[in-house]
Amino acid sequence: MELFVFVVAAAMVLAGALGVVTRSNPVHAAMSLVLTLFGIAVMFVSHNAHFLAAVQVIVYAGAIVVLFLFVIMLLGVDKAEDLSVEPITNQRPLAAIIGVGISAIVIAAIISSRAGLGASGEGVNETTIDSPDANIRQLARVIFSDNVFAFEITSVLLLVAVVGTVVMARKNKSVGIGK
């Protein structure tokens, strides 16, 4: 059963990723991105990371992809672009070699070191019928105790991102930003 879930989710992830890279229409690429993100969410569920799976669907598929589509529609670039031109000579073969090379190096490292990783932590709680909130409880305990400073800094980061985006995207009448 777990194998079946893995194969289906992996097919979703890879098909979506190839779609993002190869589709000429940005809207189609965004839809392929949704497919990939859902596949990743399925894999999170099969690793007992239920909170992250929910956040993945809500934040990525719900917010980020909608933001992408919103900008695509706002800018009016929802037309298929010509992918047959290659601006830099030999760009695509070189990019393919580099990408495949990165993957191959990482896969070689994974396979050569797969025996060295044993269970060393305190354990990840599994969500069951009796304790449906086991994962989110454990996650919350770690975030709000060991990582509480990083969590607070995160709110500053989001505030800076919001203010910065408003400053950049508004129509500048007198201030010299973006002139």
Partner 1 sequence: MNIILSVVQPTSTWYLILSAVLFGIGTIGVMVRRNPLIMFMCIELMLNAVNLSFVALSSQIADIDGQVAVFFVLVVAAAEVVVGLGIIVSIMRRRTTLTVDDMSGLKG
Restricted to residues 138-157, the positions that interact with partner 1 (CB under 8 A) are 138-139, 142-143, 146-147, 150, 154, 157
For 42, half-sphere exposure in the C-beta direction (CA atoms, 13 angstrom radius) is 18
Chain positions 34 to 53 lying near partner 1, rule: CB under 8 A, are 36-37, 40, 43-44, 47-49, 51-52
Comparing CB distances to partner 1, the nearer of 87 and 176 is 87
CB of 83 to partner 1, least distance (A): 8
Residue 134 to residue 127: CA distance in whole angstroms: 5
- Asked if residue 54 binds partner 1 (CB under 8 A), the reply is no
Residues in contact with partner 1, counted by CB under 8 A, come to a total of 85
d(CA 166, CA 4): 46
Cα–Cα dist 95/21, whole Å: 12
Among 8, 59, 73, 148, interactor with partner 1 by CB under 8 A: 59
Looking at the Cβ atoms of 130 and 135, the one nearer to partner 1 is: 135
Among 84, 89, 123, 175, binds partner 1 (CB under 8 A): 123
Q: Contacts with partner 1 in 156-175 (CB under 8 A)?
A: 157-158, 160-162, 164-166, 168-169
Show the tokens assigned to 146: 């060991």
127 touching partner 1, by CB under 8 A:
no
Torsion region of 125: left, alpha or beta (phi above 0 gives left; psi -120 to 50 gives alpha):
beta
Rounded to whole angstroms, how far apart are CA atoms 67 and 152? Answer: 25
Shortest distance (Å) from residue 129 CB to partner 1: 20
Report the alpha-carbon distance of residue 55 to residue 66 in Å, rounded: 15
